[in-house]
Structures are given as C-alpha cells and as structure tokens.
Structure 1
Amino acid sequence: MRVGLNLTLQYPPGEDPGRALDDHLRLVDAVRAAGWDSVFVAQHYLSEEMAHLQPLPLLGRLSAVAEGMRLGSGICLLALQHPVDAAEAYATADVLTGGRLVFGAGLGYRELEYDAFAVPKGGRLSRFTDNLDLVKRLWAGEAVDADLPWCRLDGARLSVLPVQRPGPPVWLAANGDKAVARAARIGDAWMINPHASMTTVERQLALFRTARAEAGLAPATDVPLMREVVCAPDRSTAAARARRHLAAKYAVYKDWGQDTVLPEGDRFDADLAELSRDRFAIGDPADCLRTLREWTRRTRTTELLLRVHWAGAPIQEALESVELLSTEVLPYL
C-alpha cells in the first residue's frame, strides 16, 4: 500500500498566498523526506470562504521538489475545461513528472462554478463524459474528430504526448451511486472521497466492483482512499484541533451543498463528534493506527491519501501530524 498527501492548498481569504504556498511546500518536503509516495492537489474556483490555488501551476512547481513521488490532480473539474487544453496541459504535467502523473477528474457540484463558466445544468454530465473521451483519445495519439458546441476538431492530434502510454491513469471522483457505477465503466479507479462515511464507502465499493465486472472490465488495480486525519500527541489535543479547523471546513462544505450529492442519509448536519464517527481519523497515534488499519482492511486500499491540514490551521500542527503518522502509524499498517 502506498501513502500520499492530499494537499488542498486552501487558505483564509486575505492571507498572503505566497506564505500559504511556502507553508504547503514545507509540508510536501516533510512527507517526501518521510518516504510518502504521492501528492495530490485539488481544484475549486471562486471559493470565497477558502481561497484556493490552482492545481496545474502547482503540479509544475511540485514536479521540481517532490522527487520520485507520484503527483496527481484530486480533482480536475473536467466539465469546466476545454478538452484540448486539458489534454495538452496534463500531458505536459506528465512530462514534467517523468511519467508519474495521475489524472483525477470529477463532475463537481457547485452551482457557482458552473454558472461562472456558463455550463448549463442539463448538459454537465454529457460534457464531462465527452471531454474525458476526447482527452483520452488525444493522449493516445489518435487523429480526433469532434463537433460539439464547445469543441470542434478535424483530425486533431496532440503535438506533446504524455510519457505514460496510452496516457496517465484516470481516477474519477464520485459521490452518488450512479456516479460510482459510471466511474467503474469509464475510469481506471474510483477516487474515494474523504467525506463519505466508511459504511457508505464500503457499500459503494461493492457497487463499483460489480459495475466493472458487468462491463467486462478487469478489477481496478488502484483503490485510492482519501481521508481526513488529525493525529496529535494525545486525544484531547487532536479533538481541539479538529474542532477549530476541520469542523470549520465541513461547515463551509455544507453551505456549498457538498453533502447533497452523497447518498441519502449521509449528511454534514451533525456536530463534529457525530460527523467524525466512521468518517474521520482523529486522536493519538494509537487511535489513528487502529482506525486506518480497519478502513484499509475493509476497502483493500492500495493508496491511502491523507489530508492533514485545513484553511486557517497552523502549518506546524500539520507537520507534527505528519511526523507522528510517519513514525508511529504508517510503518505498522
């Protein structure tokens, strides 16, 4: 099993973005030195409550400092992109990383983002699937034709191809059951979100595996599991940090409507103690080891992607969490 850092690069509005970047690069340096395997960066637009650096420039920056590590988008909001631009840009990212890129993509859920790009509600899914098909065909070096409202191609070929052939692995984010089944059919893996309860995840993983088998596809070789982790020297410190920062993040997520795309009954309207149960790993190293061991066993995880920092939290707390995880938790998984 590989272990990666889910680096969201969110910071409070008004904070110096250069300082936020420097802090997060310290975090990447810490996990690289500790032997972690990967770093994934996320994407949002117009996130006023939590400012957000964009993933593609970050992947270029990380390719220079995360030597030997796998890098990925977690996720690219592909329906909001032009497929030629996405194919060219992420092919370039694969070159920059020496063929170590994972292309994580998803449909997204924020109305604000779709409105900003003038993507109508009724056409979002088809735009996402069409874009993904075009990106994969362009990466493969095909001469591609397309006649879509947002993209017209006549025998187009990429001039820069990704190092990985026929292209980087495609991990698709999904929340609802239909989206999970779709990810099974058109992706290489389901990028399991960090906010669903593990009971939901376990049920949906069975759905994912069944959908692949019914489509005549081999079982996915990658099972990436994203989780929120607050690891501190003692339980009370971990709980206090989670209340200050993790709870605040999920309050914003609730305002954004993120939990409305989860299956019925999986919502963010509980207090932190209730919300954390079967969802977050919060505690001392023994608590985190016990929780993560159980989750990876239940899911047969191949890549555990941990988020240890949230907007407004001191980076030193995240660095302490990484040290404890690296020395007292991960070696025993």
Structure 2
Amino acid sequence: MSAHHNAGFRRLFETDRLSFGTGFPLTNADESAPDVDAEVRLARRAEELGYDALWARDVPTFWPSFGDAGQTFDVWPWLTRMATATDDVALGTASVVLTLRHPLHVAKAAASVDRLSDGRLVLGVATGDRDPEFPAFDVDPDDRGHLFREAVGLLRTVWAEEFPEADTSWGTLDGDLSVVPEPTTETVPLLPTGHARQTVDWIGDHGDGWLFYHLPESTLESYLDDWRAAAGDKPFAMAMQVDLADDPTADPEHVHQGFRAGTEWFREYVRDLEDAGVDHLLVGLRGDDPERELERFASEVMEPVQATGTDGSDR
C-alpha cells in the first residue's frame, strides 16, 4: 500500500477483509432536502454499527426524470458537516462530476474536507450522466473523456507541487499560484467511477482504485480479471441497492442496481463478492425504517461475513 494513502483509504482497503459503506441520504429523502438532524443521527449510528464509509453523491442540479437529487446539499459542506459528527468512518464521494467542476475548485474543496476530517476523504470521480446538465454548464458531452483526463492530471499536479506549471483546457498555471491547503497526504485518493469514458488500463494507471456499479456475477468476474491485469492489487469497490425482505429465507428478486432478498441469501452473496475479489461494498439500503435497515444489515449480513472467511471458517 502506497504511503500517500490517507486515513479514509486505509480504513477501506488496508486489510484483506471486505469493507462496507452506505450512502446518503440515509433517510431516503431523495427529492428534497433531508432532515439534517436525522441524517446526522443515522450517520453516527452507522459508524457505531461498524460501517467503514459514508458516501455522498455530487448532483449539481435536480432533474426529475432521473429520479433523485442525491442528498440535495452540495457535497463539500455536507461531508464537512458529517466530519464534525463522526470520528473515524471514511467519507466518500460517489462521485464528484469532474467535467462540470473546475479542477482547481475541486482541488481546494477536496483538500479542505480532507484536512477538516483528519484525512478521511476518499474521492470517487466521474464524468456525469444527467444529459441536461451539460448544456446548463456549457460543456460539450462529447468532450467528457478528455476533460476528465485533464482534470485528474491537474488535481494530481496541484496537490503534489507548490506553484506548479500546467496548460489545460481549464486554463493555465504559470508557476505564480499555489492551491492551499494541501491534503493530509500526497494526494486525496481518486476512484474513477464506471468507465469514466476511459480504458481500464488508463484507470489502472491513474486511479487509486475503481468504483463500479452493481454487475451480474459473470460480468463482475470478467471485469475483475481485466482490473487485476491492469491495476495489480489496487482495490475494486462496488455499489449496489439492498432491499431486505422481512423473511430471512426469502429468495432474491432483482431491483434496480441490486436485489430484494432475505438476509440468509445476502450473506452468501456478499461472501461470493469477497471471494471474487471485491474490496469494498457500498450498500444503498431501502426500507421505511432506515435505522432498522442499517441495524439489520450490520447484524445479519455485515458482521457474520466479516467474522468468517470466504470458506466459512472463523477469521
């Protein structure tokens, strides 16, 4: 593991066990601003229950046709608020839309949150997928691939160098300016999300890991083979929706980006993910009682999986 990986990255990936995170809004209020006090309470509860990360989405505007507004609040002040409410849990973005934000703003904001959280920030980064946002920000969607590459390069440069020189589509740095504060380590860890309009080899070379959406098992296996060939032991994280049935023995039913099933099936499924080589699982928990779902998944799925190896033996 490289020395520059911060506390949040180490929390997720330092051991060989599968780590678990969950995502805002924890109250499932996905079209309007959530109750902040309730979100803070649930964030603290998730940390108490042993979740390793709390993830926030970057959704610049609300497009009703897409179906949600993330946690509504801008990702930087939101994660700063959660940093003050929690102690050790990693704080992640899933994911910052680099094509719609100037990289120098991202560099300063991310380093600030990283500092204010004592190094707990892990930065998922993406190219964006909400079509009306691109004309709203005067960005040609066909430019997303090269804008993403330039943004990643510029973030790495301004975090690593004082008074750097750089000439990109975003502007020119001629050595007179420096971006402060610096992150707690050499770089805030970057996890490209999805393909980000890049090759797997590029993501393996330029990312600290790969964050992907839920994949069918056969597809996941081939993706992981490609990832290991390109990136070696760099981590692979996957996000999925989890709807826990009341009957713990219930068979699985597909839902968008995940499953509805009983906890017995989820335990075996998650063990299979760990055995396949998934390093972190970001679960979006559905249900009318968010705290109950956090507790059920932790006690009936997460804890048993972490307590045993993939062969069922005690760790």
Judge same fold: TM > 0.5, yes or no: yes
Q: Would you say the 8 A contact 1:174–1:180 is kept in 2?
A: no
- Alignment-derived partner of residue 307 in structure 1: 284
Contact 1:209 1:219 in 2 (8 A): yes
Distance across 1 between alignment mates of 2:92 and 2:57:
9
CA deviation after TM superposition for structure 1 residue 149, in Å: 3.9
Q: Does 1:125 align with 2:145?
A: yes
Give the Cα–Cα distance (whole angstroms) in 2 for the partners of residues 168 and 201 of structure 1: 27
Partners of 2:163 and 2:178 within 8 A in 1: yes
Q: Structure 2: any 5+ residue segments left out of the alignment?
A: 1-16, 306-315
Residue of structure 1 aligned with 2:69, choices 46, 51, 54? 51
Cα shift at 1:126? 1.0
Shift of 1:236: 9.5
Select the residue among 70, 86, 93 that pairs with 2:106: 86
Q: Secondary structure at the match of 1:74?
A: strand
Distance 2:227 2:250 in 1: 37
Q: 1:275 to 1:325 in 2, by over 3 A?
A: closer
Match status 1:140 vs 2:140: no
2:184 to 163, 172, 177: 163
Query: What displacement does 1:139 show?
Result: 0.9
Distance in 2 between residues matched to 1:282 and 1:303, nearest whole Å: 20
Give the structure 2 partner of residue 229 of structure 1: 242
Counterpart of 1:6 in structure 2: which amino acid?
A: G
Aligned to 2:265: 287
With normalisation by structure 2, the TM-score equals 0.81
In 2: Cα distance, 1:176 partner to 1:90 partner: 19
The answer to whether the Cα contact below 8 Å between 1:230 and 1:238 also exists between their aligned partners in 2 is no
Paired position in structure 1 for 2:14: none
In the alignment, which residue of structure 1 is the partner of 2:225?
Answer: 206
Counterpart residue number, 1:255: none
Give the aligned partner of residue 304 of structure 2. Answer: 332
Residue deviations 1:82-109 (CA, integer Å, cap 9, x gap): 1111100000010011011111101122
Q: Deviations over 1:69-94 (max 9, x none)?
A: 11111100011111111100000010
SS of equivalent residue, structure 1 residue 11: coil
Q: Which residue of 1 is the match for residue 309 of structure 2?
A: none
The count of aligned residue pairs is 281
Q: State, as a whole percentage, how many aligned pairs show the same letter.
A: 23
Name the counterpart of 1:4: 21
2:97 corresponds to which of 77, 95, 103: 77
Matched to 1:5, the amino acid is T
Aligned CA RMSD, in angstroms, stands at 2.5
Letter in 2 for 1:308: L
User: SS of the residue aligned with 1:64?
Assistant: helix
Look up the match of 1:322. 294
Pair 1:122–1:175, CA change in 2 (3 A): closer
Query: Does structure 2 retain, via aligned residues, the 8 Å contact 1:232–1:324?
Result: no
Structure 1: tracts of 5 or more residues without a match: 213-217, 240-272
